[in-house]
Structure 1
Amino acid sequence: MQEASMTPAPRILCIGAVLWDIIGRSASHMRQGSDVPGRITRLPGGVAMNIALAAARSGLQPVLLTAIGRDPEGEELLAACTRLGMDMSHVYRSDDLPTDRYMAVEGANGLIAAIADAHSLEAAGDKILRPLTDGTLGSARAPHDGLIALDGNLTLPLLRDIAASPAFAAARLAVAPASPGKAERLRPFLGHATATLYVNLEEAGLLCQAEFPDSAAAARALVARGAARAVVTDGGRAASDAGRHGTVSLLPPAVMVTRVTGAGDTFMAAHLAAEAAGPDPQGAMERALATAAAYVSGDNAL
């Protein structure tokens, strides 16, 4: 009797920042000038990497498209990502660009400050996309038709090119800004036929140049401005998903927050994985909120 063949995990291409996350965390409330005890960690991070890690935990197979230097930090980062189960075979390696880094300080009252140094990713430009245009993973004539998670650390001109490129026309695109400061880079995807925007309430306001009382109003406004679909989070308040299916709004589980860096990326990946398992907007939102709550409470290990 033949053994039943196992169905391979759905693949997700994660495009954007993969770098070293250097995070200082303290159990104390902090303000400008605070000097407190805590812990400092260095882990593989970046929006694309955070999404890939969470996607792998949710049952997807991540393939990373990014830029990593050939410096010692880059060699170490590539090895660490590979050990975590990431497919790094399509990463652009630069001889003259250093490996990117992100540094943040978090206290009991949340994120205090952060600096993202993704200059090498920006300088690499469209070189990271070659596998999607040279036939390796797709091309303009035979575009990749799977799931792609795209982060806003890419430059605005490159994001504009992606939004208009036939090589991305068949993909199911999920787009997230790297931070509120880069939210407006997502504007080219307002009007894209297959793109879902994953933003928080502040980022939705920046994209729409308006203030919203809640995530539902923000998600509907993004759809009105041309988004095919918009998923908006608002911390411990209700998150909302608006699109052709209408609007779904749900409260996240109440948990003690112990970390915030990567929470939005974890939510997004869990939502994408749930959607890949079956198109149920309410069920996908429930699973994504539960996964993000477990992450911020420290119950999910990186």
Structure 2
Amino acid sequence: MNKPDILCIGSVLWDIIGRSSSHMRSGSDVPGRITRLPGGVAMNIAMTLVNFGLTPALLSAVGRDVEGDELVLEATRMGMITDHLYRSEDLPTDSYMAIEGANGLIAAIADAHSLEQAGTKILRALSNGPLGSSDTPWSGLVALDGNLTRDLLADISKSPLFAASDLRVAPASPGKAERLLALVGHPSATLYVNLEEAGLLCQTTFTSAKDGAKALSTRGVHRCLVTDGGNLAAEALGDDIRTAQPPEVLVTRVTGAGDTFMAAHIASEVQGMAPQDALERALSAAATYVSGETPH
């Protein structure tokens, strides 16, 4: 079995996305297209990493149902390591449903109950040998997904299994952003958030990504990257703050854009790019994604 370049820990599920070119509001009934694609934060990050030539391993909960078998087969086909997935007999494969209109995301429901119920079982490969142990912890990159429970994220922040890891963390949604407070103060954690999520973590609102990045750094976040749609994005590492402007594109989809940004940034750093170049390349990759020019 190949050694992975990075571990992607979190939601691996099916995305059911309904998209319409019409502007929508509550109660709208419009024509469009409905697709089912592999998704979830951990899976979205892994798919982009594969596109950049990296080999990710998935650590998640996937049911032993038909949907789960299809999902694992697809992930393997794309080049991901799926040997360490927790395959439950009792828990169904998770799913995510979203409606997107010309005016952006209208509504979404994330059913990640199986991942939440599986808890620490998804980390078995890190404690029993295949990917590490307490004595010889995994010393590489880890992409963490905010779909994990607050308790599990708190356990990870203190666990010797992650003592040597380079943690990269993304909230699953603004509604789950506050779960990441468990990782504030972690010596190696890098948080990837948007402007709204930065405000939720700091219990305020910000008018710019730069202000949000500064505040998170002051609050004790080791390193953070804050995006704000088509507006200026910022990265903070201590007192060192850099900014970059995303390219202007026509937005045709939004689900998965933040995951694409995070994965592209990680891949750029793995490939040795300078910090400013890595930030700009990640913004370009996310802009290309939302324009619909690259496959999910």
Distance 1:9 1:237 in 2: 38
Which among 101, 105, 116 is matched to residue 107 of structure 1?
101
CA 1:9/1:57 → structure 2, altered by over 3 Å: closer, same or farther?
Answer: farther
Match runs of 1:264-279 below 5 Å? 264-278=258-272
Partner of 2:247: 253
Partner of 2:22: 28
Deviates more, 1:121-130 or 1:236-245: 236-245
Kept after mapping to 2: 8 A contact 1:241/1:281: no
> Does residue 208 in structure 1 map to residue 202 in structure 2?
yes
Distance 1:213 1:108 in 2: 24
SS at match of 2:148: coil
SS at match of 2:122: helix
TM-score, with length taken from structure 2: 0.98
- How many aligned positions are there? 295
Partner of 1:228: 222
Deviates more, 1:253-262 or 1:274-283: 274-283
TM-score, with length taken from structure 1: 0.96
SS at match of 2:262: helix
> Does residue 69 in structure 1 map to residue 63 in structure 2?
yes
Q: C-alpha offsets along residues 88-125 of structure 1, whole Å, 9 cap, x if unaligned?
A: 11100000000000000000000000000000000000
Distance 2:203 2:238 in 1: 23
Kept after mapping to 1: 8 A contact 2:50/2:78: no
Question: What's the Cα RMSD here?
Answer: 1.2
Distance 1:142 1:130 in 2: 14
Distance 2:47 2:243 in 1: 26
The Cα of 1:240 is off from its aligned counterpart by 0.5
Kept after mapping to 2: 8 A contact 1:10/1:276: no
Q: C-alpha offsets along residues 67-94 of structure 1, whole Å, 9 cap, x if unaligned?
A: 0000111111111111121111110000
Kept after mapping to 1: 8 A contact 2:247/2:284: yes
Identity fraction in percent: 65
> Does residue 121 in structure 1 map to residue 109 in structure 2?
no
Match runs of 1:126-141 below 5 Å? 126-141=120-135
CA 1:75/1:10 → structure 2, altered by over 3 Å: closer, same or farther?
Answer: closer
Distance 1:199 1:148 in 2: 16
Distance 2:230 2:65 in 1: 40
Q: Which runs of 4+ in 1 moved over 4 A?
A: none
Structure 2: stretches of 5+ with no match in the other structure:
none
Kept after mapping to 2: 8 A contact 1:9/1:60: no
Partner of 1:199: 193
Structure 1: stretches of 5+ with no match in the other structure:
1-7
Deviates more, 1:149-158 or 1:56-65: 56-65
Distance 1:9 1:153 in 2: 25
SS at match of 2:93: coil
> Does residue 298 in structure 1 map to residue 289 in structure 2?
no
> Does residue 87 in structure 1 map to residue 77 in structure 2?
no
